[in-house]
Chains A and B, each alone.
Chain A
């Protein structure tokens, strides 16, 4: 996998409003912001509002003052989102200004509903689970279909949560290989560093 890094030139183009850089920026951070916000079990509308607010503040700050460490643009976006979250929770309750509970995540799996999944991705998922042993296939189906308590399902199958997590990790790794192949084929691009 070719790594991508945010550079000073990239940040300058973003500040200047270069459309392709803006598009790359939003495309890159969109899903990360959704993952972070949905991990807090927030309603979809709230996730959208907070995501938009984060972008607005990032662009305002970048255009006004820039950023000292362009290579840490990601950390800047994350901390901006944290500030937006803190203000949201403050306005919703009497949380103390020193209370960092807004950073905490509920002890639940992240809700992935709404993530755009293509037919090709589903095909790859089918391919991966089709190659698993029957017990592992049935375990994943039980966990992702019936939405029962995961501990209970694991107990029924005679496995512990670590087994499920490792199974998911291995299956995901296989999926990822296929997913990257498809992505490379789709984009038709070779390796590149820095901005698109």
Chain B
């Protein structure tokens, strides 16, 4: 791949978004290592994407008070005009209806939903260490998760299970070994850095195990004897 072709293909964005055709990956990589212009281009694009990611997250976490909550009063009549009963009463009534709807319908629905389609914002993520079966059970001294009760969080770890399965079942087990959450993870994720969202957080603080079991296709049941990886961590609730 030469420079002109890389530019024509807009290879840098496609590569970084995972959309460059596979047969062009190796060629483009060789090219950006060899071409100063494309090397600078990819570095700038990465900087922009990461900067954008950080900026939008910072904006999302800005305190509500930093934003204007009500429209500015019109110049004519000053802001006291909003307090006149003819206007204030219907506005307050509408507000009360809205608050009631949020409390009775929207918030309970959001709480109940565990679907990732709801787009929960995960503001806390934690790196877990300790990756082999039966290994580092005392790793909880290192793996601390500090969140508020009920707060969703993400667990980041290297997925390095023993054995090879097309799919793995994961269980989040509390200190007595009861599974409080579970899910599936594709075998394609083996040896990759994985981020697992714990939507809605956990109900109680304490020690937890994230355990992976190999699941043979069509087996229908978890092969408990195929425990493939175990990660231990401790949850501490923030006040």
Contacts and interface: CB of A to CB of B under 8 A. Distances in A.
Contacts of B16: 35, 39, 109-110, 112
Interface stretch (B26-34, B96-104, B170-178, B224-232): B26-34
A42 interface: yes
Interface string A111-134: 111010100011011101100000
A176 B48 contact: yes
A148 B119 contact: yes
B217 to A, nearest CB: 19
A122 B54 contact: yes
Contact of B51 (A5, A39, A124): A124
Contacts of A129: 52, 55
B30 A75 contact: yes
Task: Please report whether the interface of chain B is mostly helix, strand, loop or mixed according to DSSP.
Answer: helix
Contacts of B45: 168, 172
Interface stretch (A12-20, A59-67, A138-146, A184-192): A138-146
A28 B43 CA distance: 10
**Of listed A82, A106, A113, residue having the most chain B CB within 10 A:** A113
A82 B59 CA distance: 39
A125 B44 CA distance: 11
B111 interface: no
Interface string B181-223: 0000000100111000000000000000000000000000000
B170 to A, nearest CB: 17
B1 to A, nearest CB: 12
A140 B53 CA distance: 9
A105 interface: yes
Task: Please report whether the interface of chain A is mostly helix, strand, loop or mixed according to DSSP.
Answer: helix
A100 to B, nearest CB: 8
Interface residues of B, number: 51
A3 B193 CA distance: 36
8 closest residue pairs by CB, A with B:
A78-B33, A112-B50, A74-B33, A125-B51, A43-B158, A74-B34, A115-B50, A43-B193
Interface of A: 1, 3-5, 28-29, 31-32, 35-36, 39, 41-46, 72, 74-75, 77-79, 82, 92-93, 100, 103-113, 115, 117, 121-122, 124-126, 128-129, 140-141, 144-146, 148, 150, 161, 165-166, 168-169, 171-172, 175-176, 179
Given A32-B42, A110-B46, 20 more contacts: A1-B37, A72-B34, A74-B35, A78-B34, A79-B30, A93-B164, A93-B191, A105-B22, A110-B15, A112-B46, A112-B49, A117-B47, A141-B59, A144-B53, A145-B57, A145-B121, A146-B121, A168-B13, A168-B45, A179-B47
26 contacts: A28-B39, A31-B43, A35-B16, A43-B158, A72-B34, A74-B34, A74-B39, A78-B29, A82-B26, A93-B191, A103-B26, A105-B18, A105-B25, A111-B193, A117-B50, A125-B55, A129-B55, A144-B49, A144-B53, A145-B57, A145-B60, A148-B116, A168-B17, A168-B45, A172-B45, A175-B44
